[in-house]
Amino acid sequence: MSALVLVGRALAPHGLAGWLKVEPITHDPARFEDIEFLFAVKGRSEPRRFSVQSVRLKPGHVMLKLEGVDDRDAAGLLKGALLKIPEECVPPAGENEYYYYQLEGLWVQTAEGEHLGTLDQITTAGSTDVYWILKPGGRDHVLVPATRQAIASIDLERGIMIVNRDFVV
């Protein structure tokens, strides 16, 4: 099986017919309408494959009806599960655009060659994403805004992000 990409988290059952309330982990929750199947991963258990029967987009969340999840109890068993899709099912990113999963783990250095650490986490501050770079030694972070001015280049094949030192906090 190819790598699995996180798209949501099961929050709770909804109603009696097995619907599942989901927190979308994507910039475009409407993408759920194109998902034919997904995997639910709970704890250290093996991923379970489910066909998506129906999708309802709601403000702040998505409602999913999964094949074989036919009542509230069955949906309740999925509460807290991470919902993932195979990497090959992810729509291609636009030019100079990247998915979080592609960036997390990149080696980060300045344009001058100073190693800052690895991209550990991405958060949002207002309208700008912020890259959290875990410094060597694994204790502290430096922050870099995800802007064209701050990011000099990203090379996914080599696993390297080059940042402008002036923007490192």
Rounded mean pLDDT, 6-14: 96
- Specify the pTM: 0.74
Residue 1: band (very low, low, confident or very high) from pLDDT cuts 50, 70, 90:
low
- Overall size of the chain counted in residues: 169
Task: Determine the average pLDDT of the residues in 27-49.
Answer: 93
Report which of 98, 78, 76, 121 is spatially closest to residue 27, judged by C-alpha positions: 98
- The domain that holds 34 is classified in CATH as 2.40.30.60
Query: Which pLDDT score is estimated for 2?
Result: 73
CATH of the domain at 127: 2.30.30.240
Mean pLDDT of the chain: 93
SS3 163: strand
How many domains does the chain contain in total?
Answer: 2
Same domain, 112 and 83: no
Q: Which residue range(s) make up the domain with 33?
A: 4-88
pLDDT in tens, 130-161: 999 999 988 899 999 999 999 999 999 999 99
CA atoms of 144 and 169, how far apart (whole Å): 6
Helix or strand or coil: residue 74?
A: helix
